[in-house]
Structure formats: structure tokens, C-alpha cells
Amino acid sequence: MTAEIEIADVASIVQDIFSTMMDLSVCKVEGPITPPGDRLTSSVYLEGSWKGAVSVECSRQQACDFAGRFLASDPPPAVDDDVRDVMGEIVNMIGGNFKASLGSDVRLSVPSVIDGSDYEIRICGSATCNKVAFRYEGGDFLVTVLTNHGVRPARSGAASRCDTN
């Protein structure tokens, strides 16, 4: 059996989570967006018959906005532990939805959150499966799905796959 993570699946899961948990309407944006210099990236890692990662990348202000909505309170004025916890929970819910469709042996890590400026995250042996931009009233943010299933070394020039056998 082959399991795939399609862009439509990413969009549907993210839209459902943001609507349900934050009463926030987000829509998929066509075309690339440039992440802000000062940002937060929350990630979870999946291991088992499907190996990869999911991350949510947004500005610090957006992360504060998400935290306020998620906690049904005023947004914090700056990134704090509540903001980091909410960002971890958001990516955990997205990853959990993927996990449910990828097989019973797939495990989900504890979320990690990176807060900083002008950084790049690389997960050794992985390739981007899907990078989906979303827009809401507070701007654009990214959800990225990486996989190392079926990824060949870069020197081979082979394209990555986003499925399992």
C-alpha cells in the first residue's frame, strides 16, 4: 500500500485546525512566499514506515496572534513560553493528522520550536515533499513537509518521493 501526503491534504488539515482551534480562516496561497527574517519555526518528526518532518514557519507577531487566538486571550506582546507551547501544539496537531493516515507504526516526536532571525533548517537525508503557503488577515505563513523516504543521495540527481510502499 502506498500512502502519500498531497498538497490538498496539507491544505485541508491546516485549514481545519486553524478554523477549529483558533476560529481563524486561512487559505492556501499559490506561489512561493519569503519567510520573514525574525520568525518562529515549530517542527515535529515522524518515524516508522514513513519518515519525515512537518514544520510551521511564521513571523513572531503571527505566532503571538496564533497564541492569543488558541488560548482565547489577548495576544502576548512578545514571544514567550505560551507562544512557543501553542506553536508546538499547532504543528503537533498537523503532524498527528498525517500520522493517522500514514500507518499504525509511525511515531510522532515531541515538538521543537526555533525562534530567531535569518536561519535555515536542514534535516539530514531529507527532501521537501510539499511546501504550502497560507494567508490570513495577519499575513502569510508556511507549512513544510519533508521526507527521507525514498530520497537518494543528492549526487544522483534523483527527485525525492513523498510516499511509502
Closest CA to 26 of 128, 133, 107, 108: 133
Asked, for residue 94, whether it belongs to a domain, the answer is yes
Asked, for residue 165, whether it belongs to a domain, the answer is no
Asked, for residue 120, whether it belongs to a domain, the answer is yes
pTM of the complete model: 0.84
| pLDDT of the chain, 165 residues: tens digit per residue | 345 677 888 999 999 999 999 999 999 998 777 777 789 999 999 998 888 899 999 999 999 999 999 999 999 999 999 999 999 999 999 999 999 888 789 999 999 999 988 777 777 667 777 889 999 999 999 999 988 755 433 332 333 334 433
Asked, for residue 160, whether it belongs to a domain, the answer is no
**The pLDDT value given to residue 155:** 30
The count of other CB atoms within 10 Å of the CB of residue 158 is 12
The count of other CB atoms within 10 Å of the CB of residue 156 is 8
Counting beta carbons within 10 angstroms of the beta carbon of residue 16, is it exposed (0 to 12), middle (13 to 18) or buried (19 or more)? middle
- The alpha carbon of residue 77 and the mean position of all alpha carbons in its chain are separated, in whole angstroms, by 23
Asked, for residue 161, whether it belongs to a domain, the answer is no
Cell numbers at 132, concatenated: 504550502
The CATH number covering residue 59 comes to 3.40.1550.10
Count of the separate structural domains present in the chain: 1
**The pLDDT value given to residue 128:** 76
Asked, for residue 164, whether it belongs to a domain, the answer is no
**The pLDDT value given to residue 3:** 56
**The pLDDT value given to residue 164:** 39
Q: The domain containing residue 14 runs over which residues?
A: 3-150
DSSP symbols for 43-59: EEEEESSS-EEEEEEEE
